[in-house]
Amino acid sequence: MAQDVVIRSIEYDAVPQVEIPKQGGGTAVFVDTSDATLESGDQMLNGVTAYAGGTKVTGTIVSKGSSDLTVSGATVTAPAGYYSASASKSVAAGSVTAPASISATSATVSTGTNTLTLSKTVSVTPTVSAGYVSAGTAGNSAVSLTASVTTKAAATITPTTTNQTIAAATYLTGAQTIKGDANLVASNIVQGKSIFNVAGTAVVPIISQDSTTKVLSIS
CA-to-CA separations, 40 to 86, 161, 188, 205, in angstroms, rounded:
26, 37, 49, 46
Domain boundaries, the chain: 3-58, 102-152
**Across the strands, what pairs with 152?**
172
Inform me whether the pLDDT recorded for 12 exceeds 70: yes
- pLDDT per position as a tens digit, 171-183: 888 899 999 999 9
Mean pLDDT score of the chain: 78
- Average pLDDT over every residue of 42-61: 86
- What is the pTM (predicted TM-score) of this model? 0.35
Inform me whether the pLDDT recorded for 106 exceeds 70: no
Residue 69 to residue 85: CA distance in whole angstroms:
13
Res 140: pLDDT: 45
- Average pLDDT over every residue of 136-159: 69
- Average pLDDT over every residue of 147-161: 84
Residue 79 to residue 118: CA distance in whole angstroms:
41
- Average pLDDT over every residue of 178-201: 92
Inform me whether the pLDDT recorded for 42 exceeds 90: no
In whole angstroms, what separates CA 145 from the centre of its chain?
A: 34
- Average pLDDT over every residue of 184-190: 92
Inform me whether the pLDDT recorded for 215 exceeds 90: no
